[in-house]
Amino acid sequence: MSAKDKDLRPHLTRDHCLDLMRNMLRIRRFEEKAAELYTQEKIRGFLHLYIGEEAVATGVMQTLTPEDAIVATYREHGHALVRGVPMTGVMAEMYGKSGGVSKGRGGSMHIFSAEHRFYGGNAIVGGGLPLAVGLALADKMQNRPNVTVCFFGEGAAAEGEFHESLNLAALWQLPVLFVCENNLYAMGTALARSESETDIHAKAASYKITSEAVDGMNVVDVEAAARRAVAAVRDGKGPYFLECRTYRFRAHSMFDPQLYRSKDEVTEWEEKGPIRRFSDWVTKSGLLHADDIEAIEADIAKEVEDAVAFAEASPWEEVETLLEDVGAAS
């Protein structure tokens, strides 16, 4: 292994392990609270939870700078939190309150923060792919050393914009990292029932894009792969494609009865979940101890409590402001 390759590996110090654990647990506890609030009708509309997939957002985000751009899907709360979007603003947005990061106008599926270069939250399957290509093109044309990361599910591989976006990114050698969060089910359709080629990264390779598959339930593996990918993109080697093989433990959305998979299948995946696996590894290795994790849990519980209180106290948008930001000023 070369010295450069060694530099691209995650440096698993105690502090870094604490950070990885904290980020995954923040996502998990936030999402669990969101599910609870949904049953209480505090959060309405659609709600798509990221529970089980925490290692992907956490691992990839470790490799980015504040100047890099992120485009996500409608299952994006976790990405926003790891990116640094305040939990208070995310929770208030899900309540539809004016204190939300999108002023309550976007809701669960449209978390947006220009300050954090977090460009959604996109409710259209595959809709973020051309946006990411546009952002990457803008960076290249203006000679900015930035990377755009685009997260999407494997269901997007069946959409036309998937192929159009990959083709243009490769043709123009754009600085974009495509991250496919392959959780095996596009809503209720198993991957093998809709795709003749189930190795999604092979589709990217057909466009001459460097691509690889990684265990999306292992946060260290995800970070290591993302470091290789981001370094290649930043070095001007064009787009890169990561297929993170993961699994969502909850339903596609809160309306989904999950008749397409068995409880035994879900249980089997839960046993190799990203938080459980990482927690077992860091405690057995001595990098972290049980009381470290307990302290993290206590901090997060307080943060979630404060976020709910902020959302509850945040006002609804005033009627007089409803036409603001609807169109560009003339």
Q: What does residue 245 show for φ and ψ, rounded to 5 degrees?
A: -85, 110
- pLDDT at residue 108 tops 90: yes
Task: Read off the pLDDT of each residue in 73-93 and give the average, rounded to a whole number.
Answer: 97
Whether 8 shows a pLDDT value over 90: the answer reads no
pLDDT number for residue 327? 81
Domain boundaries, the chain: 3-314
pLDDT of residue 224 exceeding 90, the answer is yes
1: Cβ contacts below 8 Å, ≥ 6 apart = none
**CA distances (Å), origin 165, targets 162, 181, 322:** 5, 17, 34
- At 238-276, the pLDDT tens digits run 999 999 999 999 999 988 888 999 999 999 999 999 999
Query: Average pLDDT, stretch 205-222?
Result: 97
pLDDT recorded at residue 183: 95
- Rounded to an integer, the average pLDDT of 202-223 is 97
Cβ neighbour number for residue 204 with a 10 Å cutoff = 26
Q: How confident is the model at residue 95 (pLDDT cuts 50, 70, 90)?
A: very high
Alpha-carbon span 59 to 180, nearest angstrom: 13
Task: Name the phi and psi angles at 87, rounded to 5.
Answer: -60, -30
> pLDDT (tens digit, 9 = 90+) per residue, 133-170?
999 999 999 999 999 999 999 999 999 999 999 999 99
Enter the pTM of the model.
Answer: 0.94
Average pLDDT over the chain reads 94
Domain 3-314 coded CATH 3.40.50.970: yes
Tens digits of residue pLDDT in 177-195: 999 999 999 998 999 998 8
Contact 90, 82 (CB under 8 A): no
Residue in 179, 230, 244, 239 with CA at minimum distance from that of residue 209: 239
Tokens of 24: 């995954």
